[in-house]
């Protein structure tokens, strides 16, 4: 093993506390590396949740090291048993650990992106539906998930870099029955890149380019009400403010000038949600709209309300998208 750390002996002695500690440390280092590879995409999540890359990496891999009653790493050991080919040499041990950590990191990033951005979440569902319907497959490659044609076991060749993917013709990013196949066709015919489409980048690109995306229905083309993202967000804000009014204003828990601050704050947050995610710390939105309020006062009086309303706003956006 050329990295100086041998994984196979660690996997073979999971009852030894030194091995367990070492394995957790190595896994943490791998996870941090994959998080940093995705840094641009998760930056907003890290900022908005106010967590570090190290913390994110640990959240991603912690479940692997959960223990059962006998103090075994049940999840990890189960994966180890299922891994093909069997992990009986250092090469396979390295690949096993690298792949399982990479996969955990990707799952966690996808989960966070979904939680942070209801539009991303909805679009991802729709793209996943198309993947399943057309029997495409999803394959991990260097810390990202790629859509590949159904006959692919692995990706061979050069993957399209992000910059070049974003420069593909805009008409390819129009959601429809065969839009994924059209992108494959384009990659094959017009470029020298492998037939592999970066999933998250595709979703971001759809969100950015196809503003009427959310009006498209799966089964019918007749009498579709054209609802774009702005319209849906406006509806969600309206519902959130109604809730605020019912729960806090009518019961005398907030004054009308405070209502106005919440209104402005929620609108600012919604604008950023549409554009990829909220900025660091919800309190900053609030303080911008409430002159002379200190952070301590905000924490004491408004933080819980704003966090609750923010959750509601995201929930209402999802519900409007589902209508």
Partner 1 sequence: MREHITEKDLFDFVFFPTLLSKEKFSYLENSDDFKEEIEFFIDLKNSLQLELTPKQKQLIAEKIPAYNPVSIIKLYPVEQAKKRKVNGLILAAASENNNKPTVTSRTFYDDNKTYIIKVLNYENSSKIFVFSTQYEVIKNFDLIISPQNLRYHIDDNTIPLELDFNVNPETVTLEFNLIKQS
Residues in touch with partner 1 (CB under 8 A): 1-5, 17-18, 20-21, 24-26, 28-30, 32-33, 37, 54-55, 58-59, 61-62, 65-67, 71, 73, 91, 94-95, 98, 141-143, 154-159, 161, 192, 194
Tell me if 217 sits within 8 A of 224, measured CB to CB: yes
Distance between CA atoms of 184 and 107, rounded to whole angstroms?
Answer: 24
| Nearest residue (CB) to partner 1, 55 versus 242 | 55
Cβ density class 232-251: b for 16+ within 10 Å, e for less: bbebbbebbbeebbeebbee
How far from the centroid of its chain's Cα atoms is residue 84's Cα?
A: 28
CB closer to partner 1, 104 vs 274: 104
Between the two ends of the chain, the Cα-to-Cα distance in Å is 55
Question: Of 34 and 120, which CB lies nearer to partner 1 in the complex structure?
Answer: 34
Taking the complex as a whole, the smallest distance from the CB of residue 3 to partner 1 amounts, in Å, to: 5
* Sheet of 144-148, strand order: 137-141, 144-148, 197-198
- Closest contact distance (angstroms) between CB of 21 and partner 1 is 5
Task: Return the bridge partners of 148, or none.
Answer: 137
Nearest distance in Å: CB 22, partner 1:
9
Least distance to partner 1, CB of residue 104, Å: 13
Question: Measured between alpha carbons, how far is 221 from 236 in angstroms, rounded to an integer?
Answer: 25
Smallest gap from residue 179 Cβ to partner 1 (A): 25
Residue 32 or 113 having the CB closest to partner 1: 32
Report the nearest approach of partner 1 to the CB of residue 196 (Å).
11
Whether residue 285 contacts residue 303, with contact meaning beta carbons closer than 8 Å, is answered with: no
Torsion 126-103-278-298 (CA) sign? positive
**Residue closer to partner 1 (CB basis): 83 or 141:** 141
CA dist 267 and 237 (Å) reads 7
Nearer to partner 1, 51 or 110 (CB): 51
Structure tokens at 74: 């049940």
**Nearest CB to partner 1, comparing residues 150 and 153:** 153
Q: How far is the CB of 32 from partner 1 (least distance, A)?
A: 7
> 41: how many CB neighbours lie within 10 A of its CB?
19
Reported as type and span, the H/E element at residue 98 is helix 90-116
């Amino acid at each position: 093993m050329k990295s100086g750390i041998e994984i196979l002996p660690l996997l073979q002695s999971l009852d030894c506390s030194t091995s367990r500690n070492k394995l957790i440390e190595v896994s943490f280092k791998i996870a941090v590396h994959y998080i940093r590879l995705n840094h641009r995409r998760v930056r907003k999540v890290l900022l908005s949740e106010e967590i570090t890359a190290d913390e994110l990496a640990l959240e991603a891999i912690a479940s692997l090291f959960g223990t059962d009653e006998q103090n075994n790493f049940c999840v990890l050991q189960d994966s180890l048993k299922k891994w093909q080919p069997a992990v009986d040499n250092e090469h396979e041990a390295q690949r096993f650990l690298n792949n399982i950590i990479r996969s955990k990191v990707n799952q966690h990033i996808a989960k966070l992106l979904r939680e942070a951005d209801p539009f991303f979440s909805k679009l991802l569902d729709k793209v996943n539906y198309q993947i399943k319907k057309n029997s495409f497959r999803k394959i991990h490659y260097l810390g990202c998930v790629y859509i590949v044609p159904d006959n692919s076991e692995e990706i061979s060749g050069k993957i399209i870099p992000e910059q070049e993917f974003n420069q593909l013709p805009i008409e390819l990013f129009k959601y429809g029955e065969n839009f994924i196949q059209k992108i494959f066709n384009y990659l094959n015919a017009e470029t020298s890149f492998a037939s592999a489409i970066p999933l998250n980048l595709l979703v971001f690109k759809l969100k950015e380019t196809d503003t009427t995306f959310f009006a498209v229905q799966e089964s019918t083309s007749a009498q579709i009400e054209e609802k774009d993202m702005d319209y849906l967000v406006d509806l969600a804000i309206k519902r959130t403010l109604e809730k605020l009014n019912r729960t806090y204003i009518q019961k005398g828990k907030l004054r009308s000038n405070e209502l106005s601050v919440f209104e402005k704050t929620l609108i600012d947050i919604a604008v950023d949600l549409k554009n990829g995610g909220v900025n660091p710390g919800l309190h900053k939105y609030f303080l911008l709209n409430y002159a002379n309020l200190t952070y301590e006062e905000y924490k004491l009086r408004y933080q819980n309300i704003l966090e609750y309303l923010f959750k509601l706003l995201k929930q209402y956006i999802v519900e409007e998208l589902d209508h």
